[in-house]
Amino acid sequence: MKGKLIVFEGVEGAGKTTQIQRLIQFLQASCFLRVRLVATREPGGTELGRGLRHLLLKQDGGESVSDRAELLMYAADRAQHVETFLKPELSKGTIVLCDRFTDSTIAYQGYGRGLKLNLIKQLNEIATGGLESDLTLWLDINVEAGLARVRTRGGCDRIEQADLKFHRLVQQGFAELAEENKSRIVRINADRPEYEVAQEIQTIVTSRLEAWGYLNNTSSEK
């Protein structure tokens, strides 16, 4: 049985990391998964990726990263991630929960930075070898609300410190991607209490896992 790739997307402060953790806890406690379950992220899902993540997100006043260099570093991170982690896990039948994937590059570097969408799609194709998510959960939150969440955590990274116009363009990118890919991308209203968002995600993912034949039994308890 081939594995499934479930991706979490959204602007800064959407709650992706939190919801991935909550979903893992729910699936491990409430469901009878027939296969392995793992979580990963981009950038930073491999040893090489962790080094690239530091270069991409650090905010230390050093040399600035150009837009094209940024795009190519994300592509390099993804190529390594796909070849050394995602494909091997999926070939084992693993359910992989990934914090960001190709849609983020289109939204951030395409819509946000203004780089050519065709170029980004070509790079995504090269980096992934055609691998796409089986399900993408877009955590849709008001940009200002998401950035406010980020500020409460402190220590904003380079991307988080971009101006409001940039983040609004990114949000527009996610909205257009969701409209164009309705069979793959599911919108989740993330501008709600954390537990409500988690419950909706649990319902959607459990339904998909049942349809894919990955559950022996399920519990309706949330």
pLDDT digits 0-9 by tens, 51-98: 999 999 886 666 788 999 999 999 999 999 999 999 999 999 999 999
Return the pLDDT at 221.
41
| pLDDT computed for residue 137 by the predictor | 98
11 contact partners, CB below 8 Å, separation of at least 6: 141, 143, 146, 167, 170, 171, 174
Local confidence band at 154 (pLDDT 50, 70, 90 cut-offs)? confident
Burial of residue 104, with CB atoms counted within 10 A of its CB: 0-12 exposed, 13-18 middle, 19 or more buried? buried
Break the chain into its structural domains and give their ranges: 4-212
Q: Which CATH number fits domain 4-212: 3.40.50.300, 3.10.450.50, 3.30.930.10, 3.20.20.100?
A: 3.40.50.300
Contact 140, 9 (CB under 8 A): no
| Predicted pLDDT at 59 | 64
Nearest to 51 by CA among 83, 80, 84: 80
pLDDT by residue (tens digit) across 91-149? Answer: 999 999 999 999 999 999 999 999 999 999 999 999 999 999 999 999 999 999 999 99
Confidence of residue 35 (pLDDT cuts 50, 70, 90): confident
Reading the block at residue 120, the tokens are 């980004």
Confidence of residue 151 (pLDDT cuts 50, 70, 90): confident
Q: What local confidence, expressed as pLDDT, does residue 61 receive?
A: 61
Split at pLDDT 50, 70, 90, the class of 1 is low
pTM of the model: 0.93
Q: What is the CA radius of gyration of the chain?
A: 17
Residue 219 confidence (pLDDT): 45
* Distance from C-alpha of 180 to C-alpha of 159, rounded to nearest angstrom: 25
Alpha carbon distances (Å) from 159 to 12, 58, 59, 124? 9, 9, 9, 20
